[in-house]
Each structure stands twice: as C-alpha cells, then as structure tokens.
Amino acid sequence: MVRRGQRLAVTLFNQEASDLDLTRPQFEAMIAISHFPGLDQITLARALGIDRSTMTLVLDGLMDRTLLHRTVHPQDRRRRVLDLTALGLRALEAARLRARLAQDRLMSPFSKGERVEFVDAMSRVVLGARSSAPPLELPTGIPAAQSAEFAGLMGRPAFLLRRCAQIGFAFFGEATQGLDLTPIQYGVMFLLKVLPTDEATAARLLAVERSTIDRLLQRLKARGYVERVDDDSRAPLHLSAQGEALFYKVRDMAIEADRLMFGPLSAVERERLVNMLDKLLVAQGA
C-alpha cells in the first residue's frame, strides 16, 4: 500500500508538472540545493536518503538541461559544489506550484484533521524506523533557518511515502536475506496464491505496468516458482509447488518486515494509518 501510495504521488506530480519535464527526485534535489549553497553530491544524497548512483542520474538529468552546474570546491578539489542556474531557479519556482497542486490532489480524500494525522504518523515512521535504507542526514553547519525550511520536506506526503517505501523495502531485504526475492516479486507470488490470474489482470491488481509484470513473471517462471496450467496463453498463472513452499517461507518474514517498519506506531495508530492508506488509494483509484 505504501508503494502504491508513492506511485500515486509520483503520477500526480508528473501530471501537474508535465510541461516542466521534471521528475519528483529532481524536484527534491533542486529544493535541497537551493536551501544549502555549496552542497556537494554525496551530502545531497544523504540529505534526501538516496543512494549515490541514483543521485548521479538525477543530477545528470538536471545538468543536461542546464538547470544545474557543478564547480570545484575552493578548499577541496575532490568535491564538486552544486548550484542551480538562473534557468534552474525559475524551473524550481514553477515546480513548487505544481507540487502544491499535486499534493492537494493526493490529500483530497482526507479532511484537514486527517491530513495532519497522516503526515504525523508517516513522519514518525520515517524518523523512528531503523533500517538499512540509505541514511537521511541533513547537512551540518547550516544556519538553523535554512535547515528548518528544508526540513519542511518531512511534512510533504509525497516525500514521506517515498521514504517509507524505501524503509519497507530495506526491512524486507533484511528479513529475506539470501532468498533473492524482491518485495514486488513477493507481491506477485502473494497475488497468484490468492487468485491465479493472467498477466494483464495481475498488472492491474498490483498497480504496475504490464511490461514490469511480464519481467517479474519471466524471472519467477525461470526459477520454477510460477507456472501455467497448460500452454494456452490465456490460461491463468499460479504458483508451482516450489513457489508455494517459498511463499509460506517468506510470508512470516514479510509480516515481520511490516511490523518493524511501523514499529514507531502503536497497534491502534498502525491500524489507523493502514485504513487511511486504503482510503487514499480507493478514493484515487490507485
């Protein structure tokens, strides 16, 4: 549900910012760079909780569009200082407006009180869960006013959903270490255990692209976990005996990963947050 909420947030931002040709990670990077003059790439990655390789791709995209430039740090020639260009600053201001519109659409199923409750619960998960997700560390030695403004990202539902999804994936990876199974692959196996179905239906029910489902199923079939009743391409897919054995082995691990992710919340608060996520996804048709 967190993953689907994150995808919904990204979709809404992409729709509102389609004329700007900016991704959500690029927007978050531009916010951080604008708040912290002299930020380098490694510090930026830590501030946003993004791994270095992904951050490189994000920044390269901004560089290609001349929204960003990098210069050598005056005291450390190994570091590259990041600054937005004049064009980048104008793009950021336009993106801020689009982000607010996307956030209003994302939160539209909630009352004002529910919005506050949702952000509070998600913030506590993000700040309180201890996982192997990329660390989230604000730069040191920055004026308090700038840090406080940037920390406002923690109040943005889209940012919180992304970070919570990272944490959930990290806990799942820790719990299933050595099994070579991703959370999305487990989601496919869970679906086929409950409802043997075809590729198109699986993509719709799991809210992922058909091409992604096809790749996931190819890997699961190659490992002998998924099979079709016969050679008819219209016949439903289901778990093989080997797949069922793995599913039952992983199920308790996945439940424990969820428990750890929502560890900062009480049982009542967790149930309330799950119900709110459900309300959000159903209302938005996600």
Residue range 48-80, pLDDT digits in tens: 888 888 989 999 999 999 999 888 766 666 677
The pLDDT value given to residue 130: 87
Amino acid occupying residue 244: E
226 pairs with which residues across the strands?
239
Q: Which of 205, 165, 173 is nearest to 188 (CA)?
A: 205
Q: Which of 80, 102, 84 is nearest to 23 (CA)?
A: 102
Q: What is the 3-state secondary structure (H, E, C) of the chain?
A: CHHHHHHHHHHHHHHHCCCCCCCHHHHHHHHHHHHCCCCEHHHHHHHHCCCHHHHHHHHHHHHHCCCEEEEECCCCCCCEEEEECHHHHHHHHHHHHHHHHHHHHHCCCCCHHHHHHHHHHHHHHHHHCCCCCCCCCCCCCCCHHHHHHHHHHHHCHHHHHHHHHHHHHHHHHHHCCCCCCCHHHHHHHHHHHHCCECHHHHHHHHCCCHHHHHHHHHHHHHCCCEEECCCCCCCCEEECHHHHHHHHHHHHHHHHHHHHHCCCCCHHHHHHHHHHHHHHHHHHCC
141 pLDDT tier (thresholds 50, 70, 90): low
231 pLDDT tier (thresholds 50, 70, 90): low
Q: Residue 83: what are its φ and ψ, rounded to 5°?
A: -145, 145
Distance CA 194, CA 239 (A): 10
Query: Do the beta carbons of residue 35 and residue 44 sit within 8 Å?
Result: no
Sign of the dihedral through C-alpha 275, 280, 285, 286: negative
More confident residue, 230 or 5: 5
Average pLDDT over residues 177-181: 92
Query: Do the beta carbons of residue 171 and residue 254 sit within 8 Å?
Result: no
Write the CA distances from 188 to 184, 207, 212, 226, 281, integer angstroms: 6, 11, 11, 10, 19
For 213, counting Cβ atoms within 10 Å of its Cβ (0-12 exposed, 13-18 middle, 19+ buried), the class is: buried
Average pLDDT over residues 2-29: 92
Distance CA 191, CA 202 (A): 8
Q: Per residue in 33-46, pLDDT tens?
A: 887 777 888 888 88
Distance CA 236, CA 157 (A): 37
What's the pTM value of the predicted model, to 2 decimals?
Answer: 0.85
Residues of the chain with pLDDT > 90: what percent?
64
Distance CA 38, CA 43 (A): 10
More confident residue, 224 or 35: 224
Domains assigned to the chain: 2-166 (1.10.10.10), 174-260 (1.10.10.10)
Distance CA 254, CA 262 (A): 13
What's the mean per-residue pLDDT of the chain? 88
Does the structure show a pLDDT above 60 at 149?
no
